[in-house]
Amino acid sequence: MPLIKKSPSRKKVIAKQEKAVAATTNDAPKSTPTGETSTYQGYCVKCKEKGVTFVGEVFVNKSGSKIAKGPHTACGTTVCRILGKNA
Ligand SMILES: [Zn+2]
Nearest to 48 by CA among 83, 79, 82: 79
The 3-state DSSP class for residue 87 equals coil
Domain-located, residue 52:
yes
Q: What integer is the mean pLDDT of 4-14?
A: 68
Count: domains in the chain = 1
Q: How far is the CA of 54 from the centre of ligand 1 (A)?
A: 10
Q: How far is the CA of 84 from the centre of ligand 1 (A)?
A: 23
Whether 79 has a pLDDT exceeding 70, the answer reads: yes
Cβ proximity of 30 and 41 under 8 Å: no
Write down the pLDDT at residue 13: 72
Q: How far is the CA of 17 from the centre of ligand 1 (A)?
A: 39
In whole angstroms, how far apart are CA 38 and each of 4, 53, 63, 81?
55, 10, 22, 11
Q: What integer is the mean pLDDT of 43-49?
A: 96
Residues bordering ligand 1, an ion, CB closer than 5 Å: 44, 46-47, 72, 74-75, 77
Q: How far is the CA of 87 from the centre of ligand 1 (A)?
A: 24
Nearest to 29 by CA among 82, 69, 72: 69
**The domain containing residue 60 runs over which residues?**
30-84
Q: What are the E-state strand segments in the chain?
A: 32-44, 49-60, 66-71, 78-84
Domain-located, residue 16:
no
Write down the pLDDT at residue 52: 95
Write down the pLDDT at residue 80: 93
The pTM score is 0.62
Domain-located, residue 64:
yes
pLDDT in tens, 17-44: 777 665 555 555 578 999 999 999 999 9
